[in-house]
Amino acid sequence: MIEKRLNYETEKPKLDTKKIASREQLLEMLSPVYTPDQLKNLDDDELKDLLDEVIDRVYKVKLADGGSADDDKPKPVDPFKLMLQLNQMSDAEREQLEYMLEKLGVKKK
């Protein structure tokens, strides 16, 4: 029996942003990535498109960092590269990262 390998394109999460009714929900989902000032001039359709872009970007980065589902084993994280990336983050990016880690329930060491 041949098993089909999974990858990003075949298993991409399907979030139907067209069913999200309120602007407040869209703004809440985009708040970790964008400031209210950046979103204030966008209409609902533009917010939905932006949310789709963010979702695609996040999952592609996640797969690029952790390895593809087609790989036999995940690639190890280089601590030096990670440290450089963290040091180069702006204050706003650090705040967003802390917010996301808090929502994921990651405890600080």
Does 26 fall in a domain?
A: yes
Does 5 fall in a domain?
A: no
Does 99 fall in a domain?
A: yes
| Domain enclosing residue 90, as ranges | 16-104
Does 4 fall in a domain?
A: no
> pLDDT class for 5, splitting at 50, 70, 90?
low
What distance in Å separates the CA atoms of residue 80 and residue 99, rounded to the nearest whole number? Answer: 23
Does the pLDDT value for residue 67 go beyond 70?
A: no
Does 109 fall in a domain?
A: no
Does the pLDDT value for residue 52 go beyond 70?
A: yes
> pLDDT class for 17, splitting at 50, 70, 90?
low
How many distinct structural domains can be found in the chain? 1
DSSP notation for 12-58: -----GGG---HHHHHHHHTTTS-HHHHTT--HHHHHHHHHHHHHHH
The predicted pLDDT at position 15 comes to 57
Q: Are 47 and 24 in contact (CB under 8 A)?
A: no
Residue showing tokens 């592609």: 60
Does 10 fall in a domain?
A: no
The predicted pLDDT at position 63 comes to 60
Does 34 fall in a domain?
A: yes
> Which tops the pLDDT comparison, 108 or 45?
45
pLDDT in tens, 76-98: 888 888 888 888 888 888 888 88
Does 58 fall in a domain?
A: yes
